[in-house]
Structure 1
Amino acid sequence: MRTYKTQMEAAKKGIVTPEMEIVAKKEFMDENKLRELVAIGQVAIPANINHTSLSPEGIGTGLRTKMNVNLGISGDCKDYAVEMEKVKLAIDFGCEAIMDLSNYGKTNTFRKELIEISPAMIGTVPMYDAIGYLEKELLEITAQDFLKVIEAHAKEGVDFQTIHAGINRRTVEAFKRQKRLTNIVSRGGSLLFAWMEMTGNENPFFEYYDDVLEILREYDVTISIGDALRPGSIHDSSDAGQISELIEIGNLTKRAWEKDVQVLVEGPGHMAMNEIAANMAMQKRICHNAPFYVLGPLVTDIAPGYDHITSAIGGAIAAANGADFLCYVTPAEHLRLPDVSDVKEGIVASKIAAHAADIAKGIPHARDIDNKMSDARRRIDWEEMFSYAIDGKKAREYFESKRPEDNKTCTMCGRMCAMKTTNKILAGEKVEMK
């Protein structure tokens, strides 16, 4: 029988939970060191007590950079079978988290099935679901209604919830003064802003934050404090709206920890490369080294159709400078709901960014698979190379689409293969080009 409500409470009491044991083994970290990091909030292990199929993962200081996949049902694309295909793809690629951003109809049918089968952490944004779940117009929703949706998602087994508690009257004032080029691009943030402006009330997630925390604590749900005022263009990055909200989030982080609720902090969306490192340091400082969940950052605004690349560039820089959790972006970003092919491209791009950052950060054993790949390349062992590749299926398809005469080369270099030439010389053999 559990003698604690949350992973953080257990850690503070000196208890190493089963989830901590699993994470410590995955991360090659001492269990007590991990427990200490959970106790002070620098590592979060999102693990709802009702998510029984979960394979726990840690997010934060000293751990591998984790990756999230967004999917879900929308009014224009409501094919549950296609969304479940995306889920299975994410699981097959070993993605650590899946966010169900469904915003159409009774979304709990899809979400319950997702929680039942997924070993990955499941996240949601209750604000997206509020209108459909409550069957009310935005203006008619009350503060208590919003809390009902949070509790419903928590009971179902969601491991972390994005709650935009940092946008309040103070931050809205800073946003309005700024006169942004792209205003508010957060879907949940824009709905809360609209609700606040139409009703004249404070953000209910800010006003009733203690009630939110009590619900989350009951089911050991991690709060992912959403950045409603994240920049939606490189023009708006690091502005007063973004920073004023970050300051509020720093305070909300401490309040959550006081209630033993684990925290993720969401970060900037669009940002020029030269600002990323400073933003990572600032976030960590203001939010007391809480795990940082990065949306992008997209480093240019002119690449629709290729935003998985703009995001991977920014994500790699962000993670190398302290970000702990990357949210993937697909080629369909800014254009339409991604299809299965888009999801795969987004996953691969984000996994490359996360792994490259882990190498740069010196995460234990991060380089091991690269060294294995390099050794296989030296020996020109194609099957072994395919087994180490992030997307071995695609690598095999490329190789086999233009097969060489000699299987110990590829069609790029042919007889002039550097590996083959050097291997022969080092083995004392003669090199012949004809």
Structure 2
Amino acid sequence: MSILTTTQMQKAAAGIITPEMIQVASSEYRQPEEIRQHVAAGTIVIPRNIHHSNLVPMGIGRLLRTKVNANIGNSALSSCPEQEVEKLKNALKYGADTVMDLSTGENIALIRKQIIEHSPAPIGTVPIYEALARAGKAEDLNEELILQVIREQAEQGVDYMTVHSGILLEHLPMARKRLLRIVSRGGSILARWMKQKNKENPFYTCFDDILKICQEHDVTLSLGDGMRPGCLADASDQAQFAELGVLAKLVSRCRAAGVQSMVE
């Protein structure tokens, strides 16, 4: 039986040291075998979509330098592809290791395409933002649209995606006890959807389908913390730990599928 070796994690588990692992080892002053072992274990990720041709590989995780992410993206009020590319260049100039395109306005796919083409650094997204922009309102989101957006972003070359798969319907009453309730944008969108539909989080119910897409294109999953606290009064509460418990299980599912993952 052949062993799948599409992703960096699958290759590492098969004992293969990839050029990306060698690059990370060189930039971090580590041995390639060290990097391979940690990628195989899931304690280092190398966000590297197979379609992002001009990417310079970098690693995130154990043994490695702390990395800095910069968020850019347009809104319904302003910005265009040229401005976002300029933001990208400035972010990289001043030391960003990764960049997220959080566009929510017009021409989202075009802007993302331009950013990926101009970026040697890993590019991340939050797919629910584009899904909501297409749907118009949270109530009109559905599993098919969400998977379509994730698939299109993966095919375009997005290296890592934040998905809020850990916030569940049963967690919503816990958030009502909070001072600031839900402060995550992705988490609040999904909470509204679950409340209106009285259904489970589609990012959770479709998680196996999401894994298949990520496996095919070697997209790293950033498991979003939709129940992160917005103030000290809400920190380390029932809602936060309930979601963390789900995220821990999702990390295990990612590793079993050979998909790289990190927790936001």
In the superposition, the TM-score normalised over structure 2's length comes to 0.96
Question: Is residue 20–residue 35 contact of structure 1 (8 Å, CA) maintained in 2?
Answer: yes
Residue 254 of structure 1 corresponds to which residue in structure 2? 252
In structure 2, what is the equivalent of residue 71 of structure 1?
A: 72
Alignment correspondent of 1:158: 158
Higher relative contact order (CA 8 A, sep 6+): 2
Q: For the Cα contact (< 8 Å) 2:46–2:58, is it kept in 1?
A: yes
Matched-pair contact (CA < 8 Å) for 2:169–2:198: no
* Count of residue correspondences: 262
Could you tell me how far apart the structure 2 residues matched to 1:190 and 1:137 are?
12
User: 2 CA distance for matches of 1:83 and 1:51?
Assistant: 18
Secondary structure of 2:68's counterpart equals strand
Contact 1:160 1:222 in 2 (8 A): yes
Distance (whole Å) between structure 1 residues aligned to residue 81 and residue 107 of structure 2: 12
Larger gyration radius, structure 1 or structure 2: 1
Aligned pairs for 1:169-318 within 5 A: 169-176=169-176, 179-266=177-264
C-alpha contact (below 8 Å) 2:85/2:118 kept by paired residues: no
- Seen in structure 2, the aligned counterparts of structure 1 residues 174 and 105 have a Cα distance that, compared at 3 Å, is same
Offset, 1:135: 4.3
Unaligned runs of 5+ in 1: 267-434
CA distance in 2, matches of 1:240, 1:5: 38
The equivalent residue for 2:144 is: 144
Q: CA deviation at 1:173?
A: 3.5
| Contact 1:54/1:121 (8 A) holds in 2 | yes
Query: Counterpart of 1:105?
Result: 106
Counterpart of 1:29, as a letter, is R
**Match for residue 10 of structure 1?**
11
The CA deviation string for residues 121-179 of structure 1, in whole angstroms up to 9 with x for no partner, is 100000011122x3443212211211111111111100000000000123223323xx1
SS at match of 1:86: helix
User: Identity rate of aligned residues, in percent?
Assistant: 43
What residue number does 1:388 align with? none
Task: Determine the C-alpha separation between the residues in 2 that align with 1:245 and 1:146.
Answer: 21
SS of residue paired to 2:71: strand
Write out per-residue CA displacement over residues 23-75 of structure 1, whole angstroms, 9 at most, x where no aligned residue. Answer: 00001111111100000000000100000111111100000001100010011
CA shift digits 1:216-264 (9 cap, x unpaired): 1110000000000101112211111111111110000000100000011
By how many angstroms is 1:95 displaced? 1.5
| Paired letter, 2:227 | L
Instruction: Give the counterpart letter for 1:168 in structure 2.
Output: L
Helix, strand or coil for the counterpart of 1:52?
A: coil
Q: Is the 8 A contact 2:169 2:191 kept in 1?
A: no
**TM-score for the superposition, normalised by structure 1:** 0.59
* 1:104 shift after superposition: 1.1
2:162–2:221 contact (8 Å) kept in structure 1? yes
| Deviation (angstroms), 1:85 | 1.9
Report the alpha carbon displacement of residue 199 of structure 1 after superposing the two structures with TM.
1.0
How far apart are residue 115 of structure 1 and its match?
0.4
Tell me the distance in 2 between the aligned counterparts of 1:126 and 1:117.
20
Distance in structure 2 (CA, Å) of the matches to 1:136 and 1:11: 41
Structure 2: gaps (5+ residues):
none
CA distance in 1, matches of 2:172, 2:244: 13
Counterparts of 2:209 and 2:166, CA distance in 1: 15
Separation in 2, partners of 1:198, 1:88: 41
- Deviation at residue 185 of structure 1 after TM alignment: 0.9
Contact 2:187/2:227, CA 8 A, preserved across alignment = yes
The 8 Å contact of residues 174 and 244 in structure 1, kept in 2 or not, is answered as no
> Partners in 2 of 1:193 and 1:77 — Cα distance?
28
What value does the CA root-mean-square deviation take over the aligned residues?
1.4
